[in-house]
A and B are shown apart, each in its own frame.
Chain A
Amino acid sequence: MIVRFRGNAGDPPRKDLKTVLAAEQCLKNAQIPGVIEIAPAYVSIVLFYDPSRVVISGANVNRVVDWLAEWIRRAISNTDRNFDQAEIRQIEVPVCFELDSDLDELVRHTGIERQEIINLYCATEYRVSCIGFTPGFPFFSGLPRELAMPRRAIPRKDVPAGSVGIGGSQTGIYPIRSPGGWNIIGRTSLRLFDPQKSPPALLRAGDRVRFRPIPRHEFESSTT
Chain B
Amino acid sequence: MKANVRRAGFLTTVQDAGREGFRALGVSLGGALDSFALRVANSLVGNDPGAAGLEVTLGGLELAFADDRIVAWCGGAFDVRVGPAKIPAGHAALIHSGEELKIGPAGNGCRSWLALSGGIDVPVVLGSRSTDLRARFGGFDGRALRDGDEISLGENSREASALIDKLRSKRISEWRPAHDWSSPGSAAPVLRFVQGADWNRFDDSTIQRFSNESYAVSSESDRMGVRLRGGQLKPKEDGDLVSEAVAPGTIQVPPSGQPILLLGDCQTIGGYPKIANVITIDFPIAAQLRVGDQVRFREASLSDAQRLLLDRTHRFEEFRRGLSLISDEISRRS
A residues sitting closer than 8 Å to B (CB atoms) are 2, 4, 8-12, 36-44, 46, 48, 51-52, 55, 61-65, 130-137, 139, 168, 175-176, 178, 193, 195-196, 199-201, 204-205
Shortest beta-carbon distance from B310 to chain A in Å: 5
Docked Cα-Cα span, A195 to B22, in Å, equals 10
B84 contacts chain A at the CB level, 8 A cutoff: no
Question: Which 4 A/B pairs are nearest by Cβ-Cβ distance?
Answer: A46-B245, A132-B269, A201-B25, A39-B24
B20 contacts chain A at the CB level, 8 A cutoff: yes
Shortest beta-carbon distance from A55 to chain B in Å: 6
Is A134 a contact of B242 with CB atoms below 8 Å? Answer: no
Docked Cα-Cα span, A136 to B25, in Å, equals 5
Shortest beta-carbon distance from A87 to chain B in Å: 14
Is B135 a contact of A176 with CB atoms below 8 Å? Answer: yes
Please indicate the chain A residues that have their CB under 8 angstroms from the CB of B232 in the complex.
none
How many of chain B's residues have a CB under 8 angstroms from any CB in A?
38
Is A11 a contact of B267 with CB atoms below 8 Å? Answer: no
Shortest beta-carbon distance from B294 to chain A in Å: 29
Q: Write the chain B residue with the least CB distance to A175.
A: B26
Known: A39-B269, A42-B242, A131-B26. 6 other contacts (CB 8 A): A9-B239, A9-B241, A40-B24, A42-B243, A44-B242, A193-B26
Task: Report which of A42, A48, A52, A196 forms a contact with B125, defined as CB distance below 8 A.
Answer: A196
Is B306 a contact of A64 with CB atoms below 8 Å? Answer: yes
Is A200 a contact of B269 with CB atoms below 8 Å? Answer: no
Shortest beta-carbon distance from A189 to chain B in Å: 19
Is B268 a contact of A39 with CB atoms below 8 Å? Answer: yes
A8 and B242 in contact, given A176-B135, A193-B135 (Cβ under 8 angstroms): yes
B287-314 vs A, Cβ < 8 Å mask (1 yes, 0 no): 0000000000000001100110110010
Is B302 a contact of A65 with CB atoms below 8 Å? Answer: yes
Please indicate the chain A residues that have their CB under 8 angstroms from the CB of B26 in the complex.
131-137, 175, 193, 201
Please indicate the chain B residues that have their CB under 8 angstroms from the CB of A137 in the complex.
26
Shortest beta-carbon distance from A165 to chain B in Å: 15
Is A8 a contact of B244 with CB atoms below 8 Å? Answer: yes
Is A41 a contact of B242 with CB atoms below 8 Å? Answer: yes
B136 contacts chain A at the CB level, 8 A cutoff: yes
Q: Write the chain A residue with the least CB distance to B317.
A: A52
Shortest beta-carbon distance from B279 to chain A in Å: 11
B110-150 vs A, Cβ < 8 Å mask (1 yes, 0 no): 00000000000000011000001011111000000000000
Shortest beta-carbon distance from B169 to chain A in Å: 39
Q: Write the chain A residue with the least CB distance to B137.
A: A195
Please indicate the chain B residues that have their CB under 8 angstroms from the CB of A55 in the complex.
310
Is A205 a contact of B24 with CB atoms below 8 Å? Answer: yes
Q: Write the chain B residue with the least CB distance to A137.
A: B26
Q: Write the chain B residue with the least CB distance to A63.
A: B303
Please indicate the chain B residues that have their CB under 8 angstroms from the CB of A176 in the complex.
135-136
Is B245 a contact of A135 with CB atoms below 8 Å? Answer: no
Is B302 a contact of A131 with CB atoms below 8 Å? Answer: no
Is B138 a contact of A195 with CB atoms below 8 Å? Answer: yes
Is A11 a contact of B307 with CB atoms below 8 Å? Answer: no
Is B245 a contact of A39 with CB atoms below 8 Å? Answer: yes
Is B310 a contact of A52 with CB atoms below 8 Å? Answer: yes
A39 and B23 in contact, given A133-B267, A139-B243 (Cβ under 8 angstroms): yes
Please indicate the chain A residues that have their CB under 8 angstroms from the CB of B22 in the complex.
37, 135, 200
A11 and B242 in contact, given A46-B247, A51-B309, A65-B302 (Cβ under 8 angstroms): yes
Docked Cα-Cα span, A130 to B126, in Å, equals 20
